[in-house]
Structure 1
Amino acid sequence: MDQIKAISSFVRAVELGSLSAVAREQQSTQPTVSKTIAALEKELGVRLLERSTTSLTPTEQGRRFYERAIRVLEEFQQAVSDARGLTEKPAGLLRVNAPLGLGQLRLNALVLEFLELYPEIEVELILNDRFVDLVEDGVDVALRLAGALPPNVIARKIASSQRYLVAAPSYLQRHPEIRHPANLAAHRYIGFARPANGEVTELSGPGGIIRIAPQHRYQVNSSLAMRESFVLGAGLGLCPSWLVHDLIETGQLRRILPDWSGPGQEASLLYPSRRYQSLRATLFMQFMTERIPQLPGFEALSQRG
């Protein structure tokens, strides 16, 4: 029996909660994975998993073995890396997760540029606006914008994007002039949909910090939809510079109250805390750490005032 493979299958079974999911990840079959883990249980002389038709949970011995097994796998991966030394090549599959809007507007081009630099690396770019479980979904690196970070990950903040109020010229022509944040209450405000009711917007400007609670006539959980709504003159809103920088440059959108801005939106690279980082993942993070602050609408964290 290949003990490392068996231990790896067991660890992923605990993390995914499904033998079928492990089989799909390993491009194997559910019976094969089940036999592998059963052989491990037989060799150890203990039952590691409680199986039923609807669930898969570790036993008490299984939970204790899992905690040590993940460390064994980390040590094994580190030993493999040390043995390879400088002969390791940047090759293989890299699974990356990022927000949909940022991925389509900015990140996609960077990934293609990265692939040109490393022809033997393959990238699977998964774009969505929810926080994924990096371990459960088998993600090597994730790029996240602001918000609370999930547990069991290591985060590296790499850039910031200023947030300011914008609207289309067509909208501004049809509605009262805005001279102060207090005037926003009389306008159509477009915001990012959130689970909580309402949203408090914090603006910093000549008068210090002001907190307002604008009335959202329209909320949407897509930054791309917000961007389009602004262009169509549907309302105004607070958004990060990376999302609308090009539209400001072309005059399709205008900044409102340019002396006022919201808290910056920070970009962070995330990776699983319990997983050894491959050379391809390390190179990808180094590349993005250098290139993302150079994108329009972003700046290096050290440049913030």
Structure 2
Amino acid sequence: MDTLRAMRAFVRAVELGTLSAAAREQALTQPALSKIVAALEKDLNVRLLERSTTRVVPTEQGKRFYERAKRVLEEYAEAVADARGQTETPTGFLRVNAPVALGQFWLNAAIHQFLDSYPDIQVELILNDRYVDLVEEGVDVALRLGSDLPPNAVARKAGVSPRHLVAAPSYLARHGMPRTPDDLSAHDYVRFAWSAAGDLLELHQDSTRASVQTRGRYRVNNALAIRETLAMGAGIGLCPAWVVHDLLADGQLIHVLPGWSGPQQEAFLIYPSRRYQSLRARLLIQFLADRLRELPGMQVPSEP
């Protein structure tokens, strides 16, 4: 059995919805293409398609196999193009995953810039704050904030953002400006709901360290919601510079304990540890690495 040909027949049957349409596209008769797909099912010992008189629909196993098979075919085509020196026009599909806040604040616009540069590439951007399994969910490139990284992927540190304490002038006018880290325990502290440290706040000033047990009545699992909450005057928060740089610039927020900082937030570009990485994925990773460092409040990492 010609496995690549069989995978191509199956993929196109799924995408076109009928065996006859896939057969016409590949200059085959419908019985011939049906025989090829049946041989693939027999080889895998799995039923891939549910057939009716008018349409074919992938089974659950077929849906999973379709995602993998499509990527194999795309990577094979790119490997052939690379061997022939035909990589000047990258094409194909990319699935990208990122945290909601960074996606809305910056990545969505950056992806459109990338698409303008590469008109034959398609991108599906999935924004959520959970850590996805790159292989299981077919993700080509993920952008992660923080150092909790999957063990079965390649991670490239693309930027770091300092974390500073900030609050709105209206809040500080009502509650006063803290003078020392210990003063923070008497203030309303707004924090990320899923913080591993909980209410414990770790700060440093040069080589001096301070640990403060904060208190607060409000927690939220989205950085942009924290940004809005702080600008409303609801409390003090420790925020990455990229989240609040513009609000600091126009005075909606001001630094609290400006000599003190929290741990830097690290930004990583992550991709599956495949032997062959598609040209379009390599281009996107480099593009995002370059653009991320241009984001105000994001700095070039001191180590690769």
Distance change (3 Å), C-alpha of 1:236 and 1:6: farther
2:54 — aligned with what? none
TM-score by length of 2: 0.76
Q: How many residues align?
A: 273
Deviation at 1:186, TM superposition (A): 0.3
1:244 — aligned with what? 244
Q: Do structure 1's residue 121 and structure 2's residue 121 form an aligned pair?
A: yes
Distance change (3 Å), C-alpha of 1:271 and 1:87: closer
After TM superposition, list the pairs within 5 Å mapping 1:52-131 onto structure 2: 76=76, 79-131=79-131
Amino acid at match of 1:223: A
Instruction: For 1:38 and 1:191, locate their aligned partners in 2 and report how far apart those are by CA, in whole Å.
Output: 56
Distance change (3 Å), C-alpha of 1:188 and 1:87: closer
2:186 — aligned with what? 186
Deviation at 1:27, TM superposition (A): 3.5
> Retained in 2: the 8 A contact 1:188–1:235?
yes
1:18 — aligned with what? none
Deviation at 1:155, TM superposition (A): 0.6
Q: Which deviates more from structure 2 when the two are superposed, residues 263-272 or residues 274-283?
A: 274-283
Distance change (3 Å), C-alpha of 1:41 and 1:122: closer
> Retained in 2: the 8 A contact 1:166–1:253?
yes
1:208 — aligned with what? 208
> Retained in 1: the 8 A contact 2:168–2:254?
yes
1:162 — aligned with what? 162
Deviation at 1:37, TM superposition (A): 8.0
After TM superposition, list the pairs within 5 Å mapping 1:1-305 onto structure 2: 2-4=2-4, 27=15, 39-40=39-40, 42=42, 44=43, 47=45, 76=76, 79-194=79-194, 198-205=198-205, 208-274=208-274, 276-302=276-302
Instruction: For 1:79 and 1:152, locate their aligned partners in 2 and report how far apart those are by CA, in whole Å.
Output: 23
Distance change (3 Å), C-alpha of 1:164 and 1:30: farther
Amino acid at match of 2:193: A
> Retained in 1: the 8 A contact 2:177–2:256?
no
Deviation at 1:5, TM superposition (A): 6.4
Q: Which deviates more from structure 2 when the two are superposed, residues 87-96 or residues 76-85?
A: 76-85
- What whole-Å deviation, never above 9, does each CA across 1:42-77 have from its counterpart, x for those lacking one? 3x5x8579xxxxx97xxxxxxxxxxxx9xx989956
Q: Secondary structure at the match of 1:139?
A: coil
Instruction: For 2:232 and 2:160, locate their aligned partners in 1 and report how far apart those are by CA, in whole Å.
Output: 27
Deviation at 1:89, TM superposition (A): 1.6
Instruction: For 1:194 and 1:89, locate their aligned partners in 2 and report how far apart those are by CA, in whole Å.
Output: 42
> Retained in 2: the 8 A contact 1:74–1:274?
no
- What whole-Å deviation, never above 9, does each CA across 1:230-289 have from its counterpart, x for those lacking one? 010111111100000000000000110110001111111011113632211111111111
Structure 2: stretches of 5+ with no match in the other structure: 23-34, 48-59, 62-68
Deviation at 1:38, TM superposition (A): 6.5
Instruction: For 1:2 and 1:195, locate their aligned partners in 2 and report how far apart those are by CA, in whole Å.
Output: 52
Deviation at 1:171, TM superposition (A): 0.4
Instruction: For 2:18 and 2:235, locate their aligned partners in 1 and report how far apart those are by CA, in whole Å.
Output: 52
Distance change (3 Å), C-alpha of 1:303 and 1:253: farther
Instruction: For 1:204 and 1:139, locate their aligned partners in 2 and report how far apart those are by CA, in whole Å.
Output: 37
Deviation at 1:41, TM superposition (A): 6.0
Provide the identity percentage: 55
Structure 1: stretches of 5+ with no match in the other structure: 11-21, 50-54, 57-68
Superposition RMSD in Å: 3.6
Q: Secondary structure at the match of 2:173?
A: helix
Amino acid at match of 2:3: Q
> Retained in 1: the 8 A contact 2:87–2:279?
no
Q: Which deviates more from structure 2 when the two are superposed, residues 274-283 or residues 167-176?
A: 274-283
> Retained in 1: the 8 A contact 2:78–2:279?
no
Deviation at 1:104, TM superposition (A): 1.3
2:56 — aligned with what? none
Amino acid at match of 1:112: H
Deviation at 1:93, TM superposition (A): 2.1
> Retained in 2: the 8 A contact 1:115–1:122?
yes
Q: Which deviates more from structure 2 when the two are superposed, residues 199-208 or residues 241-250?
A: 199-208
Distance change (3 Å), C-alpha of 1:194 and 1:187: same
Distance change (3 Å), C-alpha of 1:36 and 1:193: farther
- What whole-Å deviation, never above 9, does each CA across 1:150-194 have from its counterpart, x for those lacking one? 232111001100001010000000003300110000000111011
Instruction: For 2:195 and 2:166, locate their aligned partners in 1 and report how far apart those are by CA, in whole Å.
Output: 24
Instruction: For 1:295 and 1:222, locate their aligned partners in 2 and report how far apart those are by CA, in whole Å.
Output: 19
Q: Which deviates more from structure 2 when the two are superposed, residues 281-290 or residues 84-93?
A: 84-93
TM-score by length of 1: 0.76
> Retained in 1: the 8 A contact 2:75–2:278?
no
